[in-house]
């Protein structure tokens, strides 16, 4: 080929190479370059919505938000940045070194605004707002912070909020959760976090190569989270917390007709605002405290039910016709079960079932229990909602435990003896019951034989969700059984020698059962579970005092609560 032809060919190839290069950049990699070009010149300034409020059943605020102001800077070239920080330090009255350090610490990338100082005084925020007119790269971001106007009230029901941890993040990534998101822990904040969560909005602005703001490109409004309305009554909650007065244990007030929780308290409690204010020493104090203040003792702890369990035995015995209204046993302070002596806390003489419940006679129940048989007791315990989770909305509920001969055999390879039945009959031994289960069990006798499905959230974002939650599960107990036990529970209070007699002075007729659970170490636990007003029960109450010494103490607390409620016309 001639030289000139070769040259022409080479020139054609050169231009073809250029076209190929163009093809590569524009078509094959075009999207990637478009993205890079945009990220060069576009910055996103986030704007925050506020988390949903937590309201009580009447719409009163329990937990809401308050506005705090953060100062953010769009990253730009170094000498302008220095000038900016100097101006800011003068306006804010903060050391320049501190601003510089916080800029460095919070710097993520040159395309993300950097927070230099959080939660400034609103007057300073206004001053900086004025400065913005000449320096649009400075941004005041209003940031809603969780606010707790009642401090530690209902802290376990609500829970606290904090930055998301890794474990949760891996599970929730697909639902739009990102690192550094604030999520709820424990209580309603955790269970309903998806609804309470706010959505970030923002402004997108254009910057030049020096990071200097040139113009606004677009805006998306942030969205507030949905409010969650609880079934809790703020007034009743306040009364309950006042009367518990910081004593270790828990208190529950529930409506037996549909399972709404009107108040739930657990002690020791905590003030959730330490997490908002990031008081790290206090926070670690909470986590390291052996008394476990973050634990909701109403649902997450289980204890031996003691005499409260006698209700189960009564129901089982009556239902299975092992005893009837006229059956009576003689209590002389102790009895022999097998080769061992089992004692009663007092000498009661001869009693029928009503008296036995009222005076909490152990002998009667040893005998009834032995007649009924441990497996039957176990089965009726399950019927009354024990030994399994109630299925409550708040997280970390535990299911308690009721032993049975079968369980013993399978798990411990031991036989079941009569002594075990006797222990079971008075609610000692391996039985464990949570205060919520006790309350639910009480509800059966308050509402005519139905197990409720307790719930605590009434509405989300204005939409009533309670209809789905009201579940009444019939318990197959004969009306006579229910009546008898209910009468016995009433007698606990009305009878002079009833263990709950302290409550008789109230204007409201109360029925219930005390319990004193023996523990291997320390003082006994104290139970009181009951319902009122007896004629038409509207409330179930369950008080549990850890190491409260005797059931009497729990009944006193219950008395205080009911009295206060009556005075405030809440009954």
Partner 1 sequence: MNKSFFRILILALIIATLGVLSIYSSTYQKQGAWQDIYLRQMLWLIIGLVCFFLISGFNYRKLWDANYFIYGAALFFLFLVFMLGIVRLGAQRWLRFAGFNFQPSEFAKLAIIIFLARYFSRKSVNDTSLMSGKFGIFQGIILPLIFVSIPMLLIIDQPDLGSGLMLMLVFICLLYLTDVRLRYIFILISALALPLPFLWNFLHDYQKQRLLVFLNPNIDPLGAGYTIIQSRIAIGSGGFFGRGWLSGTQSQLYFLPESHTDFIFATFSEQWGFFGSCLLILMYYLIIRQGLVIAQRTQDAFGRLLAYGISLLLAIQVFINIAMNMGLAPVVGLPLPLMSYGGSSMLVTFIALGILVNIDRTRNVF
> Would you tell me which residues interact with partner 1 (CB under 8 A)?
3-4, 7-8, 11, 14-15, 17-19, 21-23, 25-27, 29-34, 36-38, 40-41, 206-210, 214
* Burial degree of 544 (CB within 10 A; 0-12, 13-18, 19+): buried
CA distance 311 to 481: 11
557 has which bridge partners?
A: none
Q: Tell me the C-alpha to C-alpha distance, in Å, between residue 17 and each of 12, 23, 29, 219, 268.
A: 9, 10, 16, 43, 77
Task: Using the minimum distance from each CB to partner 1, give the nearer residue, 40 or 566.
Answer: 40
User: Per-residue DSSP letters for 206-256?
Assistant: EE-TT--EEEEEEEE--BPPPPEEES--HHHHHHHHHHHTT-SEEEEEE-T
CB of 101 to partner 1, least distance (A): 24
Least spacing, CB of residue 35 vs partner 1, in Å: 8
Nearer Cβ to partner 1 (31/467):
31
Q: ω into residue 94 within 30 of 0, thus cis?
A: no
Residue closer to partner 1 (CB basis): 11 or 97? 11
Whichever of 14 and 463 has its CB closer to partner 1, that residue is: 14
- If the CB atoms of residues 80 and 87 are measured against partner 1, the closer one turns out to be 80
Cα separation, 163 vs 176, in Å, equals: 15
CA-CA distance, 565 to 571, in Å (whole number)? 6
Nearer Cβ to partner 1, position 15 or 409?
A: 15
Between 26 and 60, whose beta carbon lies closer to partner 1?
Answer: 26
Cβ proximity to partner 1: between 29 and 324 the closer is 29
Residues 6+ apart with CB under 8 A from 169: 177, 178, 179, 181
- Shortest separation between residue 86's beta carbon and partner 1, angstroms: 25
Least separation in angstroms between CB 100 and partner 1: 21
The CB-of-99 to partner 1 minimum distance in angstroms stands at 24
Give the residue with the Cβ less far from partner 1, 5 or 476. Answer: 5
Look at residue 80 and give its three-state secondary structure.
Answer: helix
Beta strands in 485-565 (DSSP E): 511-517, 525-532, 539-545
Nearer to partner 1, 38 or 60 (CB): 38
For 556, the token pair is 């006193």
The CB-of-219 to partner 1 minimum distance in angstroms stands at 19
What is the distance between the alpha carbons of residues 113 and 505, in angstroms, rounded to a whole number? 66
Query: Least distance from C-beta 106 to partner 1, angstroms?
Result: 21
R_g (Cα) of the chain, nearest Å? 33
Residues in Cβ contact with 124 at an 8 Å cutoff, skipping those fewer than 6 apart: 69, 91, 92, 93
Sign of the alpha-carbon dihedral angle for 259, 261, 265, 270: positive
Minimum CB distance to partner 1, residue 140 (Å):
25
Where do the DSSP E strands lie in 240-323? 249-254, 261-267
| Minimum distance from residue 9 beta carbon to partner 1 (Å) | 11
Least CB distance to partner 1 at residue 3 (A): 6
């Amino acid at each position: 080929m001639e030289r000139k032809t070769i040259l022409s060919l080479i020139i054609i190839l050169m231009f073809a190479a250029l076209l190929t290069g163009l093809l590569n950049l524009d078509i094959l990699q075009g999207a990637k370059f478009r993205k890079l070009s945009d990220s060069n010149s576009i910055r996103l300034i986030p704007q925050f919505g506020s988390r949903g409020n937590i309201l009580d059943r009447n719409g009163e605020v329990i937990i809401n938000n308050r506005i705090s102001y953060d100062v953010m800077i769009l990253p730009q070239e170094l000498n302008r940045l220095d000038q900016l920080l100097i101006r800011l330090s003068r306006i804010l009255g903060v050391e320049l070194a501190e601003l510089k350090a916080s800029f460095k610490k919070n710097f993520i990338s040159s395309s993300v605004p950097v927070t230099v100082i959080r939660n400034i005084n609103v007057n300073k925020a206004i001053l900086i707002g004025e400065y913005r007119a000449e320096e649009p790269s400075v941004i005041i971001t209003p940031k809603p912070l969780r606010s707790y106007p009642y401090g530690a009230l209902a802290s376990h029901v609500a829970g606290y909020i904090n930055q998301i941890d890794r474990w949760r993040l891996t599970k929730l990534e697909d639902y739009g959760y990102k690192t550094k998101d604030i999520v709820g822990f424990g209580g309603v904040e955790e269970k309903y976090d998806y609804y309470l969560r706010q959505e970030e909005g923002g402004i997108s602005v254009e910057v030049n190569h020096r990071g200097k703001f040139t113009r606004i490109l677009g805006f998306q409004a942030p969205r507030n989270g949905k409010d969650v309305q609880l079934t809790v009554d703020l007034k009743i909650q306040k009364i309950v917390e006042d009367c518990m007065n910081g004593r270790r244990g828990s208190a529950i007030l529930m409506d037996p007709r549909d399972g709404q929780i009107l108040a739930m308290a657990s002690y020791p409690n905590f003030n959730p605002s330490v997490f908002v204010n990031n008081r790290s020493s206090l926070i670690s104090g909470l986590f390291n405290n052996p008394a476990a203040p973050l634990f909701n003792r109403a649902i997450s702890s289980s204890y031996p039910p003691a005499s409260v369990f006698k209700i189960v035995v009564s129901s089982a015995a009556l239902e299975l016709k092992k005893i009837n209204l006229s059956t009576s046993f003689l209590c002389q302070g102790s009895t022999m079960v097998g080769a061992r002596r089992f004692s009663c806390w007092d000498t009661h003489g001869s009693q029928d079932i009503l008296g036995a419940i009222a005076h909490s006679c152990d002998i009667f129940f040893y005998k009834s229990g032995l007649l009924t048989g441990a497996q039957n007791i176990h089965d009726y315990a399950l019927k009354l909602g024990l030994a399994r989770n109630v299925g409550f909305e708040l997280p970390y509920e535990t299911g308690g435990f009721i032993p049975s001969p079968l369980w013993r055999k399978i798990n411990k390879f031991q036989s079941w003896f009569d002594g075990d039945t006797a222990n079971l009959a008075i609610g000692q031994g391996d039985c464990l019951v949570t205060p919520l289960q006790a309350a639910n069990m009480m509800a059966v006798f308050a509402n005519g034989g139905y197990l409720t499905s307790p719930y605590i959230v009434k509405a989300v974002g204005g939409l009533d969700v309670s209809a789905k939650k009201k579940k009444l599960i019939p318990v197959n107990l004969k009306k006579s059984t229910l009546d008898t036990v209910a009468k016995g529970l009433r007698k606990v209070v009305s009878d002079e020698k009833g263990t709950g007699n302290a409550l008789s002075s109230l204007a409201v007729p109360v029925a219930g059962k005390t319990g004193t659970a023996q523990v291997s170490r320390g003082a006994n636990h104290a139970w009181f579970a009951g319902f009122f007003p007896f004629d038409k029960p509207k409330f179930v109450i369950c008080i549990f005092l850890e190491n409260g010494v005797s059931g009497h103490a729990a009944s006193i607390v219950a008395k205080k609560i009911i009295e206060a409620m009556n005075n405030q016309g809440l009954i």
